[in-house]
Structure 1
Amino acid sequence: MPTTMRAAEFRTSKDLPLLRRTTTVAGTGGQVVIRHLDEEVVLENEAAHLFNKLRPELSGASAVAAIAEKVAERPARVRALLEQLEKAGVVSFQAGTNEGALMSGMEFYELHRRHCNAWLEEVYVHPFWEKITTGKATRAQVLGFAFEKYHYIEAAFEHMGTAAANATPEMMPHLARHFIEEYTHGDIYRKGLRSLFPDDVILRSQPLPSTRALVNYLNETAQRNSFAYYSGNELLQMTENTGDQSAADAVNDFYDAMRKHYPYTDKLIDSFIAHTRADQALEHQDAFRLMCKSVPPLTRREVNDALNVARNMAEHLLLFMDGIDTFYAKFATVPRLPCDPLSE
């Protein structure tokens, strides 16, 4: 019968060492710095030299004994270093996988947050934010940002209902509730846009392909696996959460700068804030935690799938930001409208 394992123990038997794919390595010779998520490992002297010898072999394809023989080192010495790197989280072992090993939902929740916080760092330092806060963004970029946010939020009905329909009994109440509460949130953004555009223009506007790609990935995942879908959706939700005071201050500073440099966006910003407050009132920042609390223990395959979806969602979010930044810098017409014989 499978046993429940803590996140720190959710490991394979120590046969085939693999340097984690999101790890970065800097330095050579006497000092090596290995970074993974928010962890940093510094190896010096003999440990650094040994790691440099081992690094080309850490693909998950060779056993420890074979690696030791290839680099002419004692297996015990090689294993000792690799096990220390495993404890630091930069190396994993691929063989002897216990597919029956389980991780509780709350243990996954903590693991998920740690990874997502690291994956979102690139989003938070995207150059588009600085352009807004310094007044360097064009009018088209600012309004394009508002329209793409509207299209993303308005599309919730496409994927949330599908995810709820595919949900397990434990997840169904959470997904159904979130879907019902989020269904009309696109109208909040639409109200802000109506301060600048006629309603029929807003309704006919078209999202960028990069925005559509984000929505499509949510659709695809919702059709395949509801828990993995919500894992990815939670990464997006984390960008909206302002429960932490430092996050709330950063968001407020952003909106203050936007009002200062682009006074015509006053009603738009009001709609952004109204949406955030609506999410807070509905406690959407806790939705994923409550879901994780209620689901049965997860298999290794389910854990890997859910984390991969979250990682891919972060990449789609970066694409979403890149689309706004680059397209609207070159094309000043906002919003994008469908083609017809009179427009071409």
Structure 2
Amino acid sequence: MTVTATYQGLEGRQQLDLAYKPQLRHCTFFMPKVGGPTLMIVGDQHFEIEQQGADLKTFLNFKRYLDGRHSVAEISQITGLSSGDALEIVTTFAEQGLLREERPELDRIPVPVFIDQIDKSTGMWAEQIGYHRLWSGLENLDYRKEVFLGLILETYHYINSASRHISTAIAHCTDPQWKHLLSEYLSEEYNHAWMAKESLVNMGVPAEQVEDAHPLIGTWSLVNNLCEIAREDTLGYLACTKLFEARGAESVEGATALQRLAVEYGFPEGCLDPLASHVIEDVKAEHTGLVEEALEGRDFVLADRAHIAVNNLHDLKHSFDQYSENIIYYYSDVANYIPRLKVDYFSL
């Protein structure tokens, strides 16, 4: 099996042996067109995977052992590839700079370097969130209109949770400058849910039903994860604003697409204007730059804190995937109550 990746800036060939335990840098795989080439996305870099002599499933099975716990010889034995082919694949990844490099001497990361890497990684994860089948299915009108309505309902719950996770971050922040920054953030964000509520009323959901609606478990999980990050890791929470706040022109374009889809799904034209205005407000407020403002005037980030922040950021990305998946699952079922009801004692 031979797998090659084409990328400008190829460096000198690194010599590896069968005892080496390779770990791939964090990446995502995406196939833009069925039957087309597979893209491997690492930060802001896109690599095209060329397969020669084996299918994609075989390659991905090989990739999952690049975890830093298996030697090249062990990977060869497990996957059934020859040791020569296994070493060639690993060496190709090394050539592209795609293997994780342990640097125990680096205990402080310069702030510009940290912010640049966070920007690249959140860009990759935001792109991956956009690849979720919820969005392509809505765009293709594959789902019933209740799924689109459900997306707006869960968006309302998500926006309505802002005061909860921001106040949690404030309560557990030990840095006076960051506490002030978060307090300003709360004052700007605590009362935006009415915009989504008004959009839902425009779509035909009575206001009292919106207010009494119960979030899906996927939405609860997303919000609870944000609260947990806010509780244990202020730096990570500030970095997470790059995922959970509006992302510039991309979000304005996304809001415009939602307004178009609302009409295509049979909802009144202009029904989502209030929600779209929330997106535009967030873009103007530049809340995706909170971590830059927090680190302004500082020289470095401790490496152990950076590791925690990145792991929390990655977990949040998967919370968004779970959130999207749960919207499809619940609102596609014709038997489910919309909006979701609370189950009280007298319902038993």
**Shorter-normalised TM range:** 0.7 to 0.9
Partner Cα distance (2:156, 2:219) in 1: 10
Partner Cα distance (1:302, 1:215) in 2: 22
Which residue in 2 is equivalent to 1:253? 257
Secondary structure of the structure 2 residue equivalent to 1:160: helix
Which residue in 1 is equivalent to 2:120? 114
Q: Structure 1 regions of 5+ residues with no counterpart?
A: 1-13, 25-32, 46-53, 65-70
Q: Is the 8 A contact 1:153 1:185 kept in 2?
A: yes
The amino acid across from 1:111 in the alignment is: Q
The amino acid across from 2:260 in the alignment is: D
Query: Residues 1-344 of structure 1 correspond to what in structure 2 (within 5 A)?
Result: 18-20=23-25, 22=27, 35-37=40-42, 38-40=45-47, 59-60=67-68, 88-94=96-102, 97-98=104-105, 100=107, 102-167=108-173, 168-195=175-202, 196-237=204-245, 240-243=246-249, 248-264=252-268, 266-267=270-271, 269-295=272-298, 297-330=300-333, 331-340=335-344, 343=347
Partner Cα distance (1:93, 1:202) in 2: 50
**Larger RCO: Structure 1 or Structure 2 (Cα < 8 Å, ≥ 6 residues apart)?**
1
Is the deviation greater in 287-296 or in 145-154? 287-296
Q: CA deviation at 1:105?
A: 2.7
Q: Is the 8 A contact 1:17 1:93 kept in 2?
A: no
The amino acid across from 1:190 in the alignment is: K
Partner Cα distance (1:274, 1:289) in 2: 25
Partner Cα distance (1:134, 1:36) in 2: 25
The amino acid across from 1:241 in the alignment is: R
Q: CA deviation at 1:254?
A: 3.9
Partner Cα distance (2:225, 2:331) in 1: 23
Q: CA deviation at 1:233?
A: 3.2
Q: CA deviation at 1:127?
A: 2.2
Q: CA deviation at 1:203?
A: 1.7
Q: CA deviation at 1:218?
A: 0.5
What per-residue deviation string (whole Å, max 9, x for no partner) do you get for residues 180-211 of structure 1? 11100112212222332333222211000010
Pairs aligned (count) = 301
TM-score normalised per structure 2: 0.73
Q: CA deviation at 1:72?
A: 10
The amino acid across from 1:213 in the alignment is: S
What per-residue deviation string (whole Å, max 9, x for no partner) do you get for residues 262-302 of structure 1? 223732x1122111122133232333332243555112211
Q: Describe the shift of the 1:41–1:325 C-alpha distance in structure 2 as closer, same or farther (beyond 3 A).
A: closer
Q: Describe the shift of the 1:110–1:262 C-alpha distance in structure 2 as closer, same or farther (beyond 3 A).
A: farther
